[in-house]
Amino acid sequence: MKREGRIIKSISGFYDVLDHESHELIRTRARGNFRKRKIKPIVGDMVTYEASGDLGYILEIEDRENSLVRPPIANIDQAIVVTSSVEPNFSSNLLDKILVNIEHNDIEPLIYLTKTDLLDDEHYNELKMTLNGYREASYTVFDGRDSYSREQVNDLMKHFSDKVTVFTGQSGAGKSTLLNHIDPELGLATAEISQTLNRGKHTTRQVSLFDIEGGLVADTPGFSSLELIEIDKDELPNLFPEFVKYSNECQFRGCHHVNEPNCKVKEMVENGTIMKSRYDNYLYFLNEINSYKKKY
């Protein structure tokens, strides 16, 4: 009998499927024809399968809404962008690059600031003002004075319900620490991997989805692709939500907000409604995308 579910773990050619109806976990294998068609099931895939005895077989994989290569995971709803205030220092350029990549993958980003305890009040308040600009640009931001206060971690977890969540951010930003505060089992999974890698063994990173607060959370500290190679110059303006908000008031349809006359976005940058740092980063990325095109 055909059943439907979602892959929540893959290990050595076996796929653990969480059944939509019974909520049972069924271990499955992929039918041989997937290999012939060069399709590999990944964690997060919605599948049709049949179960006979102890082992089921995946028959079909539904179309993916989105997918990442590192880690291999599909149908992601949101990404927690873990951003450190110091060590490594806060970088609006890097944050915006991560946000653009996430928006490009049709994933909703949430920004989570860490290491605020290492800042004095003056620097913390400056950074908070910057992050308020992201709030005004319609992002959800967690920037409490105590990065890992129970209250703030609980507020973050309220966003997990009915969603698939992954974590991202630069190395050393505190992703594993945050995962640990959410659920020690997640933190343990990441620490174990780090130790194994540090011993110089080449291990295949297995991704699992954990059930937390009525949603599924990936136990991996995030994806690392930060090239803008897949994004073209016409898509880029649509990946800045505050540009989208005003672009229909620009004189030209498809305005790139650079040299065009009567550009509402540039007007909003000049009057301080849109953050200048965001606009400067946009121009920087546009330049980067144009230089890729020349290379290829």
Find the CATH number of the domain harbouring 202.
3.40.50.300
More confidently predicted of 224 and 70: 70
Domain assignment present for 150: yes
Q: Indicate whether 99 and 208 sit together in one domain.
A: yes
User: Annotated binding residue at 272?
Assistant: no
User: Annotated binding residue at 214?
Assistant: no
User: Annotated binding residue at 255?
Assistant: yes
The pLDDT confidence band at residue 204, using thresholds 50, 70 and 90, is very low
Domain assignment present for 21: yes
How is residue 152 written in tokens?
């703030």
* Residue that finishes a domain, picked among 20, 48, 63: 63
Residue 155 clears pLDDT 90, i.e. is over it = yes
Residue 3 clears pLDDT 90, i.e. is over it = yes
User: Annotated binding residue at 117?
Assistant: yes
Q: Indicate whether 127 and 172 sit together in one domain.
A: yes
State whether the Cα torsion 125-126-130-131 is positive or negative.
negative
Between CA 41 and CA 60 the distance in angstroms is 9
The pLDDT confidence band at residue 222, using thresholds 50, 70 and 90, is low
Q: Indicate whether 134 and 103 sit together in one domain.
A: yes
Q: Indicate whether 76 and 204 sit together in one domain.
A: yes
User: Annotated binding residue at 140?
Assistant: no
Looking at the chain, the whole-number percentage of residues with pLDDT higher than 90 is 72
Q: Indicate whether 208 and 119 sit together in one domain.
A: yes
User: Annotated binding residue at 51?
Assistant: no
Q: Indicate whether 153 and 27 sit together in one domain.
A: no
Q: Is 281 exposed, middle or buried (0-12, 13-18, 19+ CB in 10 A)?
A: buried
Q: Indicate whether 159 and 280 sit together in one domain.
A: no
User: Annotated binding residue at 203?
Assistant: no
* Residue that finishes a domain, picked among 63, 83, 110: 63
- What was the pLDDT predicted at 229? 79
Residue 201 clears pLDDT 50, i.e. is over it = no
Q: From residue 234, give the alpha-carbon distance in Å to each of 249, 253, 263.
A: 17, 11, 16
**How would you classify residue 240: left for phi > 0, otherwise alpha for psi between -120 and 50, otherwise beta?**
beta
Q: Indicate whether 46 and 174 sit together in one domain.
A: no
User: Annotated binding residue at 250?
Assistant: yes
Find the CATH number of the domain harbouring 40.
2.40.50.140
User: Annotated binding residue at 168?
Assistant: no
**How would you classify residue 125: left for phi > 0, otherwise alpha for psi between -120 and 50, otherwise beta?**
alpha
User: Annotated binding residue at 175?
Assistant: yes
- What was the pLDDT predicted at 203? 40
Q: Is 159 exposed, middle or buried (0-12, 13-18, 19+ CB in 10 A)?
A: middle
User: Annotated binding residue at 187?
Assistant: no
Average of per-residue pLDDT values in the chain: 89
Domain assignment present for 228: no
Domain assignment present for 205: yes
User: Annotated binding residue at 263?
Assistant: yes
Residue 198 clears pLDDT 70, i.e. is over it = no
Q: Indicate whether 55 and 81 sit together in one domain.
A: no
DSSP H or E run through 253: none
- What was the pLDDT predicted at 52? 80
User: Annotated binding residue at 208?
Assistant: no
Q: Indicate whether 92 and 210 sit together in one domain.
A: yes
Q: Indicate whether 259 and 204 sit together in one domain.
A: no
Total tally of structural domains belonging to the chain: 3
Residue (of 9, 17, 103, 14) closest to 62 by Cα position = 17
Q: What is the pLDDT of residues 70-93, one digit of tens each?
A: 788 999 999 999 999 999 899 999
List the domain range (segments joined by +) for residue 47. 2-63
User: Annotated binding residue at 173?
Assistant: yes
Domain assignment present for 226: no
Domain assignment present for 170: yes
* Residue that finishes a domain, picked among 14, 33, 63: 63
- What was the pLDDT predicted at 241? 97
Domain assignment present for 75: yes
Find the CATH number of the domain harbouring 241.
1.10.40.50
Q: Indicate whether 146 and 240 sit together in one domain.
A: no
How is residue 105 written in tokens?
């993958």
User: Annotated binding residue at 176?
Assistant: yes
- What was the pLDDT predicted at 191? 53
For 187-202, what is the mean pLDDT? 50
Domain assignment present for 223: no
